[in-house]
Amino acid sequence: MPRKFIKRFMPDHEVIKRQKALKVFGNVLYNPNLWCLNRRSAAGAFAVGLFMAFVPLPSQMIMSAGLAILCGVNLPLSVALVWVSNPITMPVLFYFAYKVGAWVMHIPPQPFHFELSWDFILHQMSTIGPPFLLGCMICGVTSAMAGYFGIKGLWRYSVVRSWQKRRSR
């Protein structure tokens, strides 16, 4: 069952409650629905976590926690899924998002070279910023939908299969 598989990788909720970065949420973290793992909360957590993985801001985990609290989905799972975009995979994911945005906007991809200056950042945000942000939005929504419906389907398949095994015994 997906629940047993997912629970193996989830951190303890007491450890998460003690995280200093999550203290901004106060007593809301004591809501038991945020720690429950069922089909609805797991699918919603996948949607929240995978969407927030494509947000190009450094506070992805905190924003994911806030969105999980607002949506009432599994908090540890949504925060953990943000790490799909870790420092190793982030360049590939964000380059892909830029290419998607450029393709949708019918803009030829711009050559990229990095310089460490404020003028460079402002210039790049005016040229590659719009297709990059659009691509991040498209990839985030697409991956959130795929994660949501994928987990719902996988969970349903697992339940049906366990019932069939039980019936055949």
Identify whether the C-beta of residue 78 lies closer than 8 Å to the C-beta of residue 45: yes
CB 63 within 8 A of CB 93: no
pLDDT at residue 130 tops 80: yes
Question: In total, how many domains does the chain have?
Answer: 1
Say what the pTM is.
0.80
Range of the structural domain that residue 157 is part of:
2-168
State residue 7's pLDDT score: 67
* pLDDT value, residue 3: 63
Specify the 3-state DSSP secondary structure of 55. coil
Using DSSP's 3-state secondary structure scheme, residue 57 falls into coil
C-alpha 84/C-alpha 3 separation (Å) is 20
- Lowest-pLDDT range of 48-52, 98-102, 114-118, 140-144: 114-118
**pLDDT of res. 88:** 93
DSSP, res 94: H
Q: Which of 43, 30, 28 is nearest to 74 (CA)?
A: 43
**Where residue 117 falls among pLDDT bands split at 50, 70, 90?**
confident
